[in-house]
Every structure is written in structure tokens, then in C-alpha cells.
Amino acid sequence: MSEQNFDLVVLGGGSGGYAAALRASLLGLTVALIEKDKLGGTCLHRGCIPTKALLHSAEVADAARSASKYGISATFDGVDIAGVTSYREGIISSKFKGLEGLIKARKITVIRGEGRLVSPTRVQVGDDVIEGKNVVLATGSYARSLPGLEIGGRVITSEQALELDFVPQKVAILGGGVIGVEFASVWKSFGSEVTIIEALPHLVPNEEESISKQFERAFRKRGIEFSLGTRFQSVEQNDDGVVVTLEDGRRIEAELLLVAVGRGPSTQGLGFEEVGVEVDRGFVITNERLETNIPGLYAVGDIVPGLQLAHRSFQHGIFVAEEIAGLSPQVVDDVNIPKVTYSDPEVASVGLTEARAIAEYGQDRVASYDYSLGGNGKSHIIGTTGSVKVVRVADGPVVGIHMIGARVGELIGEAQLIVNWEAYPEDVAQLVHAHPTQNEALGEAHLALAGKPLHAL
């Protein structure tokens, strides 16, 4: 058994792990990055990147269908799923090669294999022991199911959905969160009949309620069906497909059932608890500075309770590398991390919902304005509807921004700066927003909250 020593050992090469490795390397630390599969993790290979490639193919399909509306002669002749797959895999391959090259250029030692924590400073990979002055746990997540609901056959997760070599005629989706509605959007654009089953009262239930309601109207207009507020009971498979039964007795027939009920932490069997790491329902418990109950041992990304987003994991990785290097980086609370749902329409948000702001500050101390994209020139040009809602503390800063409509995810950059820098609407209102852009809608909403609405009544 051989032993290797480093300043930092990172267990997991996904968004959080490779970010920690890259930043630590820039700060002069020697780094070992342990990964059992491919660098880039779920986000690059089975999550963010491939699903967004699918969504762009879906957008092109919809554009072909509606081309005559814009004076363009084009026809939609169907979906070449092999071509879609080739396009998607080409993007993944290119990004993967780029990441591998970057890791190599930064002289990070990549160790291939499944690692197991054997002490607070040691990770075993096969017959080798990798020791670090600090260790970062970044083992990511897996697609969850429900108790008693087995994945297999015609019951699939998002990972199997990405590998389908056909477009299902009719599909049921269990879960109306981000993953569920993004696949619903893709399949509807590809020509499938889609039914979403969500136990909570709304689709995208973690968003501002007014945004969720607009989202439901948009999906209903697209012909996407959904059942809200009723739990899943069981599913039966047969030669033709699946029959899903809800607790109220309703039955939904489909070719496939996509289980999209969230992701669980990948921590079992990796030695964490044996070493003494505090774990709760599979999640690694850390303080606000991402250090576990064992000094010098950190955890980042999806295994830490909170939002499961690639960019949160990425930020965690950078944070921990800087923390270990003694730079005392600034903590960013989960509520102030931007969220984007890349369906049609898109949803983007950062900060407190109006309900949470009222709970924190009181009814009389919260003001909001909901600006319709119907008044925005660029939105009219590209044929989208939706809104930008801004929530502020009375005579105080903006604490939440919530948006729905095509391409609004591209507006989240300015939105997160406004919220995180605690800007007042009056600060934003004096800034110039280029015309014609959807970004103007963000400016208009702040003008209205600052008491000087222009294109709003």
C-alpha cells in the first residue's frame, strides 16, 4: 500500500470538487482530486449541460413551428433524436476536454477510483492512501425515488430520460419541481403528451406564488397537463406502458413514468460516519463556513443541506479553498443564491419571496411591484409574456427579485447583485438599462418601487 501527501485532498470531481481544486491550486496548494467517474460530475455529464442542450433543441423545434409568425418560411418535419443526441454529446465532450485540460494545466493530481474516508486526513483509493492537511468531501448526489417506488423498466429517472433513443408519445412525470418541468417542456416541444403529478399546491413550488401561478397558466396554454395537491399512490407496468394511481383514485396512463422527486446526498458507504463525521439523513452537517464537526474536514455542494444547484456547489468549492488558505471569504446565504428553471417559460429568482419577507419584516414594512413583460419591447419582439416582481423593505433595500418569461434567466446576474449588495430601488432606478432589452423590465420595476413609474400605472 502506497501513501501520497498533499496540502488538500478533494473527494469528488463534480462542480464543488473541481472548483475547490482549481482555486486551491491557484493559491499555491498541492491538490489531489479523487473521482471514480468523469471530472465534471452530474452537472456536466447527466444534469445541467445535457438537459439545457435538450431544451435548446426543443426551443429550435418550437421556433420552426412558429416561423411564419415572424415572416419566415420554414417547416417542422419532426425530431431526429439521434441528431439531438449527437448535438448534446458533442457539447459535453467539448466541455469535458476543456475541463481536463484546465485541471492538467493547474498541475492538480487526478486520482481515478472510488475513494473512502478512513481518517479525518486520509482517503483510501484501492490500495493507495491519499493524505491531506485538509480534506474536502464533495461526493454529490443521486436521483431519488419514493419509498416503495422502484426504478426500472418504464419507470425512469432523469439519467435514463437523457439516454432515450425515442420520443415518448405520452409521458407522466412525478414531481413538478425544476427537473420535472424542464423535461415536461422538452417532451412537449418534441411532440409528446405530458402530465405532471405534484403533491404540493403548485408547480415550481419553491418559487414566489404569483410566479408559480403564471407558470401554471403558461404550461396549461402549451397543453401540458398537471395534477396538483394529490399524492402518488402506486404505478403498474405492462407491455404498453404504465398506469399511475393517485391517492384520490385517479389513474393516469402513459408510455413512461419519469420520477423527478429531487436528489439525495451520495454519502453512504464512503466511511464518513465511521470516521465520526456528523451526518443527518445522509447529509453532512457543517457550520456556516462549511467545516464539519471535525476540524480541518470540509464538505461542499449537494451533500450539504440546502439548495442543490451546480453554481452553489461551485461557490462552495471556491469558498472552502479560500477558507483553508486563510482568506476568510464572505458567506453567501442560500436564499441569496440565484435559481433558474430553464423551461419554456423560464423562471429566475433570488432572495426572499414576498411571503417570506412579510414573515421576517412584517406586513407594513414590505412593498412589492410586479411589472408585466407585456410592456417590454424586446419581450414583445420575441413573443414572450411574463413579469418581473421586485420585493423591498419599506424605505429599505430590495430583498427579492422573481421573474418569469422567455430568457429571463439571463437577467439574474443584475438581480443577484441588487439583492446581495442590498441596493435600494432608488439606487437601481437611476441606472441606465439598454433599449430595447428585457433588462429594461428590471429597471422599470425598480422605477415603479422608487415612486417614479414610466411604462407602468
Q: Which residues are catalytic?
A: 435
Residue 117, exposed/middle/buried by CB under 10 A (0-12, 13-18, 19+)? buried
Q: Are 33 and 10 in contact (CB under 8 A)?
A: yes
List the grid coordinates of 62. Answer: 418550437
List the grid coordinates of 83. Answer: 441528431
Q: How far is CA 305 from CA 115, 140, 161, 288, 300, in A?
A: 22, 12, 26, 11, 10
State the Cα–Cα distance between residues 242 and 257, nearest whole angstrom. 7
Bridging pattern class, strands 366-372 and 387-393: antiparallel
Q: Tell which residue, 410, 51, 406, has the closest CA to residue 260.
A: 51
* Cβ neighbour number for residue 351 with a 10 Å cutoff: 25
Q: Are 206 and 180 in contact (CB under 8 A)?
A: no
State the Cα–Cα distance between residues 344 and 349, nearest whole angstrom. 15
Note the residue count of the chain.
457
Using the Cα atoms of residue 345, residue 165, residue 14 and residue 124 in order, give the sign of their dihedral: positive
